[in-house]
Amino acid sequence: MKAMDLYKLFDVSPTTGSAKSKWVRDTLDAQRLSPDWTLPSRMDAWTLVWMLSVNGSRVDVRPRPLAVQQIAYDKGLIPYIPALKQSAGSRGGQDGQ
């Protein structure tokens, strides 16, 4: 839905709607492409979450060794350790977080 349609639905002016939208974004610290606002069920499929810059090159951390994933997780660069989730999932356990 476009913002203008939402403003009309709530019967507010575009100026008021825009100001309130900005207040909500600022209050929630909502940023585009933030993994904080991604559905957990979609996190595995979202490649951008797993891309890290290593020596100036972008690399996907998922196929890297567990030790590398652990370092990235400890630094807050990835939301969980993919290797642990996969191994736990193959045993039918929890997601390894």
Q: What one-character-per-residue DSSP string does 62-91 give?
A: TTS-HHHHHHHHHTTSSSS-HHHHHHHHHT
Question: 23 and 44 in one domain?
Answer: no
Total count of domains within the chain: 2
Print the domain residue range for 41: 35-90
Note if the pTM is more than 0.85. no
Cα separation, 95 vs 97, whole angstroms: 6
Say if 26 falls within a structural domain: yes
Say if 97 falls within a structural domain: no
Q: Report residue 78 as tokens.
A: 């990835």
Note the pLDDT tens digit of each residue in 11-40. 999 999 999 989 998 999 888 777 777 888
pLDDT at 44: 82
Say if 69 falls within a structural domain: yes
Question: 48 and 64 in one domain?
Answer: yes
User: Is pLDDT above 80 for 90?
Assistant: no
